[in-house]
Every structure is written in structure tokens, then in C-alpha cells.
């Protein structure tokens, strides 16, 4: 029996990937979990394992193709196909049945006197108010006359969290049932290209570009997947989060001496004692003192989600663009352990071997540009987090200490935060705490 193997879910917020290489050929015999292709999914390279076994009849993808979850990759001759498919189809049928009674029952509720009158009027007046399609479901929902939308509770919750009206989404499942991928596709379409190739930022469509060639020669370069994902995500972050950036400087003269003193100990353990590794530990301590910085905003439920774990993303510059792998449970690890993990994950990112799972679950982000140079800047908060710490290059400055100027190594810090959750006074306290902890590391043990 011929079975179609389709591209599986590639991870949260990943709706497409580019085929780097196909690892099988027509006529090959494969087993379950055998890798069939390598995909670049936004900021990661992953192997796609087969979920079926048998002889490959046809390969539907090739290197360079853009593929999406649910797209057919292989046709495999397999006797197990029907058995594997049966439970899934049965589950789909049961899920579809859960929503079926609602639409059937609701149209029968209006009384006989009410039914004839409003219906013709709605038919005649519906074409006129074209600018108001989104407002229509609200009164209908309150009156109980709206047709039920077929979607699981988890899908509805996801739609609420990203600000999508579930009634506006077109479902691709059985009998129009809405899947999470449908919600993602709807959100992406609404944000990226609402009209004529215009890019929406913060709900406002950018005007179309002029013909630049009228003023001189131009060259167009196709965005790679990393750049496309970064562009889309940064537009969402900047357009939906009201940013405030607080700036300060930290005296790291003493901690730089300690870093050099213990650098060999970290190297012997397999790590590199960098300032970023130290900042991970300091920031984790600060997040314990100020937990509102380790949170997310749930506007749909009017709640702030305070996380009891501390996972910090670290921005890494790679040949393909910026990626943000996450270091987990930072508060529970020593600085040497963090230096080892940071070295390993940064190497994976630069080699393009980072996985989607490595970039998920962050609660705060650090972006250190000190290796390149510069001082203060305005980092963009990484949604759904509420704050990010930007770090510039330390420089010697004359600082007034004990009645005279002394040369001190000063580190520029830039803290951007979501003003819906964090007030300016708290922002100032947080960045001051980090500055003082870098100046006097004992503060971490005393308060963090």
C-alpha cells in the first residue's frame, strides 16, 4: 500500500523551511526514524526523520525547495501505512464531532416570529458595510447567533495569546477545523504583506518602494531564511511592545581582574571565561530580586506571567545572521559551567547546527556587542519576553574615587523593557543592581 510521508511540525513559530539536501532516493528502502532530508528552518538546521517504513516510490522534494509542514515529501510503498493512519483519522473524526453539534443547534434557537424578519434585512445590508468585517462577530457572539468555530481549546488559547481573532482564520483540517498552523499562517499574512507587497509594522503598512534604478545601478540580494525570520520577528517585537531603554555604566575594573585570574581554571574545564558568562550569572541573580523582568504579558487575560525558571538567551553573530540560543536554568549553574555551555552553544550556532529547541523557552536576553565595539545602543525586546540587556565595549575612563580621579574600566549597559509591565523606576533599579553587582560581586551572594 502506498503511503505519503508529509513534512512534520518543524517547531513553534516555524511555518516553512528550505531543503538543504535530500538524503534518500527513489527505490531506497527506509525504516522509521531514518533521516530523509536536511532543512534550514529559519535559524536552525535540522534532520527530518521518516515516520514510515518501506520502499520509496517517489521523492517529491529537492534541494532548494521551500517546504511547509503537511507538504508531501515521499511516497512510500508500505504495508503499515493503513494501520498507522487509522488512529490518526479516528482521532480527527472524534475532534471534528466535538464541534459539530454547536452550529446545528444554534440556528434553531430563534423563535418563529424572529426568524423571518431579521434574515432578509441582514442579506440586503451585508454588502454595504465592507470596512467592518471584524466587528460583526462581537454582537453575534453576545446574542448567541454566531456559528461555532471548529477549533480545539489549545488552538483558541494560542490565537488569543498572539492577538488573532479565531473567527477570522480559515481552517485546513477536516470540515474546516482550524489548526495551530492555520492561526500562524493567518498571523503571518496579516503582519507581512497586507496589500500589494507592503510590509506591516505595528499595524501600519509601509509605503511601496520607489524604482531606485532611476538614480543609478542597484543589486538585489535574496534574503536567506535567518534574515527573513529576523525581519518578521523584529517587526512584531517593535510593533507590539512599547519600548523604554535605560542606560548606565558599570565599573568592571575589579571583576575584569578576577576574570583574568581565573581564566585558566575555566579553560581547564573546557570553557572560556568571558564577560558574557559572568553577565549570565549576574543577570540571573538580578532576575530573582526583580521577578517582573522574568515575565511575559498576557493581555487577552489581563495577566502577567511570572516564570519560576530562568533561561537566558544570548545573541550570537553568525555568517547567516543573528541567532539567539538559550542557556537554561542559569541560576542553578556556576560561572564555569555557564562558560562551558556558552562556548558549546555559540560554536553550534556559528556552524549552523543549532536546533529550534535550542532557541525556545527564553525568559530574558543578553546582547553583547563589546567584541565588535561601540558603547550604548537600543536593543529590541525579544517577544514574548519583557526585557533585554545590551552590552557595549568597556573603556578606561577617569572616575572620581576617594578624593581623586582614578582610571577605571567602565562598561556601557543598555536595558530595554516593556513599559506595559515595567515602570521606569523599576528599570532604573534593575540596571543599577546589575552595575553594582559587577562592581562588587559579593552583592550577588548577599541579595541574589
pLDDT in tens, 380-412: 999 999 999 999 999 999 999 889 999 999 999
CATH assignment of the domain containing 25: 2.40.50.100
Average pLDDT, the chain: 80
pLDDT at 167: 83
Tell me, what DSSP letter sits at residue 128?
Answer: S
- For residue 178, CA distances in Å to 86, 88, 170 come to 21, 16, 7
Report percent pLDDT > 90 for the chain.
Answer: 43
Inside any domain, residue 108: no
Report if residue 163 sits inside a domain.
Answer: no
- For residue 193, being part of any structural domain is answered with no
225-268 tens-digit pLDDT: 778 888 888 888 888 899 999 999 999 999 999 999 999 999 99
Q: Which of 72, 95, 118 is the last residue of a domain?
A: 95
Residue 428: its H or E element: helix 424-439
Taking residues 330-357, what's their average pLDDT? 90
Q: Is 42 left (phi over 0), alpha (psi -120 to 50) or beta?
A: left
Give the integer Cα–Cα distance in Å for 234 and 414: 18
Grid cell, residue 225, equals 531564511
CB atoms within 10 A of CB 51: 14
Torsion of CA 441, 444, 446, 447, to 10 degrees: 140
The tens digit of pLDDT for each residue in 356-370 reads 888 899 999 999 998
**pLDDT: is 166 or 84 the higher one?**
166
Q: How far is CA 91 from the centre of its chain?
A: 29
Confidence of residue 206 (pLDDT cuts 50, 70, 90): low
- Eight-state DSSP code of residue 294: S
Listed as own residue / partner, the contacts of 395-404 with beta carbons closer than 8 Å and 24 or more positions apart are 399/251
State how far the alpha carbon of 337 is from the alpha carbons of 333, 359, 389, 394, in Å: 6, 19, 21, 24
| Residues 36-89: tens digit of each pLDDT | 988 887 667 778 888 889 999 999 999 888 888 899 999 999 754 444 444 444
Domains contained in the chain, number: 2
Strands 321-323 and 326-327: unpaired
Domain carrying residue 397: 243-447
In a domain, 35, yes or no: yes
Omega within 30 of 0 (cis) for the link into 248: no
Q: Assess contact for 67 and 61: CB atoms under 8 A.
A: yes
What's the pLDDT score for residue 58? Answer: 93
Q: What is the pLDDT of residue 243?
A: 94
Kindly give the residue spans of alpha helices, DSSP state H, lying in 302-407: 335-350
Active site residue 254: no
> Which run of H or E residues covers position 250?
strand 243-251
In a domain, 419, yes or no: yes
Q: Which of 46, 74, 95 is the last residue of a domain?
A: 95
Torsion of CA 199, 42, 366, 280, to 10 degrees: 160
How high is the pLDDT of residue 205?
A: 61
Domain finish residue from 62, 95, 128: 95
What's the whole-model pTM score? 0.61
**Residue 358, SS3 per DSSP:** helix
Q: Give me the catalytic one of 233, 254, 376, 419.
A: 419
Amino acid at each position: 500500500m502506498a503511503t505519503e510521508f508529509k513534512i512534520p511540525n518543524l517547531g513553534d513559530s516555524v511555518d516553512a523551511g528550505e531543503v538543504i539536501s535530500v538524503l534518500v532516493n527513489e527505490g531506497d528502502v527506509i525504516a522509521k526514524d531514518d533521516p530523509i532530508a536536511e532543512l534550514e528552518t529559519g535559524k536552525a538546521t535540522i534532520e527530518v526523520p521518516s515516520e514510515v517504513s518501506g520502499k520509496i516510490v517517489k521523492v517529491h522534494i529537492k534541494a532548494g525547495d521551500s517546504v511547509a509542514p503537511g507538504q508531501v515529501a515521499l511516497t512510500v510503498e508500505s504495508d503499515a501505512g493503513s494501520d498507522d493512519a487509522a488512529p490518526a483519522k479516528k482521532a480527527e473524526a472524534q475532534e471534528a464531532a466535538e464541534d459539530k453539534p454547536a452550529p446545528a443547534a444554534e440556528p434553531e434557537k430563534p423563535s418563529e416570529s424572529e426568524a423571518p424578519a431579521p434574515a432578509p434585512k441582514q442579506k440586503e445590508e451585508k454588502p454595504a458595510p465592507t470596512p467592518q468585517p471584524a466587528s460583526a462577530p462581537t454582537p453575534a457572539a453576545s446574542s448567541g447567533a454566531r456559528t461555532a468555530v471548529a477549533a480545539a481549546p489549545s488552538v483558541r488559547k494560542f490565537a488569543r495569546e498572539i492577538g488573532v481573532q479565531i473567527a477570522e482564520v480559515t481552517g485546513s483540517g477536516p470540515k474546516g477545523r482550524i489548526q495551530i498552523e492555520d492561526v500562524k499562517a493567518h498571523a503571518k499574512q496579516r503582519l507581512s504583506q497586507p496589500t500589494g507587497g507592503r510590509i506591516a509594522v505595528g499595524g501600519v503598512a509601509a509605503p511601496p518602494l520607489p524604482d531606485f534604478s532611476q538614480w543609478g545601478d542597484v543589486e538585489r540580494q535574496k534574503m536567506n531564511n535567518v534574515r527573513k525570520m529576523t525581519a518578521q520577528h523584529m517587526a512584531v517585537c517593535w510593533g507590539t511592545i512599547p519600548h523604554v531603554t535605560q542606560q548606565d555604566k558599570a565599573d568592571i575594573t575589579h571583576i575584569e581582574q578576577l576574570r583574568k585570574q581565573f581564566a585558566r581554571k575555566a579553560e581547564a574545564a573546557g570553557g572560556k571565561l568571558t564577560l558574557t558568562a559572568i553577565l549570565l550569572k549576574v543577570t540571573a541573580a538580578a532576575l530573582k530580586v526583580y521577578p517582573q523582568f522574568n515575565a511575559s504579558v498576557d493581555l487577552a487575560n489581563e495577566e502577567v506571567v511570572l516564570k519560576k525558571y530562568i533561561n537566558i538567551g544570548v545573541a550570537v553573530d553568525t555568517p547567516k545572521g543573528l541567532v539567539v540560543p538559550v542557556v537554561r536554568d542559569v541560576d542553578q549553574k556556576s560561572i564555569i559551567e555557564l562558560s562551558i555551555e556558552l562556548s558549546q552553544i555559540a560554536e553550534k550556532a556559528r556552524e549552523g547546527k543549532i536546533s529550534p529547541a535550542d532557541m525556545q523557552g527564553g525568559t530574558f536576553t543578553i546582547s553583547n556587542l563589546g567584541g565588535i565595539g561601540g558603547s550604548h545602543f537600543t536593543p529590541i525586546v525579544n517577544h514574548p519576553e519583557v526585557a533585554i540587556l545590551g552590552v557595549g565595549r568597556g573603556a578606561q575612563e577617569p572616575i572620581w574615587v576617594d578624593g581623586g580621579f582614578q582610571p577605571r574600566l567602565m562598561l556601557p549597559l543598555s536595558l530595554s523593557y516593556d513599559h506595559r509591565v515595567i515602570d521606569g523606576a523599576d528599570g532604573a533599579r534593575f540596571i543599577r543592581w546589575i552595575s553594582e553587582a559587577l562592581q562588587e560581586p559579593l552583592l550577588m551572594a548577599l541579595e541574589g
